[in-house]
Amino acid sequence: MLFWNKRQFVPEATEYFNPMTDSKVAIITGGNQGIGWYTVLHLYLHGFKIYMLARNEERALKAIEEIKVEAEKRVSKYDEAETRSRFFGSIHYIPCDLLDLKNVEKAAETIKKAEDHLDIIINNAGLMGCPFEMTKDNYEVQLQVNVVSHVLLTLSLLPLLVNSKAPRVVQVSSLGHNLATSFYENTNDLNKSPSSYYSMLRYGVAKTAAIHFTEVLAKKYPNILCVAVHPGVIATSLYDFVWSTNGFLGTISSWIFKVSGSIIAVSSEVGAYASLRAALDNTLTVDQNNGCFLTTGGVMSSASKVARNMDYAEKTWNWNITQLQERGFKLID
């Protein structure tokens, strides 16, 4: 979308790394499609060693091959100086089912055995507007996928983050966090009618909680740059699914979205720019920007009042830590 072009982040303008001399390691959840796919592509082009955490091995491996093909196409357009100074990284698949906390813990252990440091965590995967469902770990499904599993993953990998010279945690949230106009500690009891409203309220609460986690992590670990992002309204079939599962009100909402989306929607690649700025932009610092919120194209923005409230953020953090500890997970808090 042209509106963002003058202000949006330009990944190609940031530093490139030679994996033979600079060991840059990143992990991303849900990097096999959408904005995650383009996030992986640009990190790969910048020389990062990337661990793609995803549930479906076949889709992940296919995505990795497609990313490599696209990377070759882009490199073919480099000039001579760019060809000499830019190197491919590597992409590795690790099975990780965010609907199973033990599986998330196992993925973290796999990474800890493979690496002695970690430069970037991108908590990218998420669900939107799902019908009410409780997971095997006894969390509402959107809360577990969008928040709880990423809390567990990030805190499990803290020892690797602190071994990095300039570690970063990127949390993909959404403008939809504004749907939570009041503070809710969790979404486990938000199973009411109309379901079309409460499915999106649960989404807003989860995305607010994701921002809360990022803010408190920044406070507790001031040497880790923690950034929450809204990727933008992405042209995707996800919205068709969301609204098709929510009856008549969903049909009306779908029509409204398609009309507005034709005006404000951005591509998946532009949607990845907020995450990429949070991951790559050296003008962002822990002193000036820790706990900040970026919006479409990587533009600096501000989250909602509920999301910015640090008392609420502390309550969200404490609830998540307590719940995970009660389920037997040992966390660094």
Cβ atoms < 10 Å from Cβ of 72: 10
Quick one: how far is CA 187 from the chain centroid?
Answer: 19
Give me the catalytic one of 203, 221, 273, 312.
203
Pairing label, strands 120-123, 25-29: parallel
35 falls within a domain: yes
Residue 331 falls within a domain, yes or no? Answer: no
> What range does the domain containing 79 cover?
2-326
Two tokens, residue 104: 């998330």
- In angstroms, the CA 60 to CA 10 distance is 26
Catalytic-residue membership of 173? yes
pLDDT score at 242: 52
One of 49, 139, 164, 207 is an active-site residue; which one? Answer: 207
Task: Confirm whether 156 is a catalytic residue.
Answer: no
Is residue 332 assigned to a domain?
Answer: no
Q: What is the pLDDT of residue 256?
A: 45
- Going across the sheet that includes 49-54, the strands are 90-95, 49-54, 25-29, 120-123, 168-172, 225-229, 293-295, 299-301
What's the pLDDT at 265? 84
Q: How many domains does the chain have?
A: 1
Please name which of 69, 36, 38, 66 lies closest in space to residue 54, comparing C-alpha atoms.
36
Angstrom distances, CA of residue 94 to CA of 144, 315, 318: 19, 32, 29
- 151 within a domain of the structure (yes/no): yes
Half-sphere exposure of 282 (CA within 13 A, CB side): 6
Please name which of 244, 248, 298 lies closest in space to residue 271, comparing C-alpha atoms.
Answer: 298
Tens of pLDDT along the chain (333 residues) come to 444 455 799 999 999 999 999 999 999 999 999 999 999 999 999 999 999 999 999 999 999 999 999 999 999 999 999 999 999 999 999 999 999 999 999 999 999 999 999 999 999 999 999 999 999 999 999 999 999 999 999 999 999 999 999 999 999 999 999 999 999 999 999 999 999 899 999 999 999 999 999 999 999 999 999 999 999 998 654 545 454 555 544 454 444 444 444 456 899 999 999 999 999 999 999 999 999 999 999 999 999 999 999 999 999 999 999 999 999 999 876
Which of 33, 4, 16, 27 shows the shortest CA–CA distance to 149?
27
Residue among 149, 173, 254, 304 flagged as catalytic = 173
In-domain check, residue 284:
yes
Residue 97 lies in a domain: yes
Amino acid at position 119, single letter: D
Domain annotation covers residue 243: yes
Query: For residue 175, is it within any domain?
Result: yes
DSSP 8-state class, residue 193: S
Locate all alpha helices (DSSP H) within the chain, ordered by sequence.
Answer: 34-45, 57-75, 80-85, 101-114, 141-143, 149-156, 158-161, 195-220, 238-244, 247-264, 268-271, 273-280, 286-289, 305-308, 310-326
What pLDDT does residue 332 have?
Answer: 77
Contacts of 10 (CB under 8 A, 6+ apart): none
Does residue 203 have an active-site annotation? yes
Count CB neighbours of 15 within 10 A.
11
- pLDDT score, position 274: 98
In one letter, which amino acid is 53? L
Question: Residue 235 maps to which CATH number?
Answer: 3.40.50.720
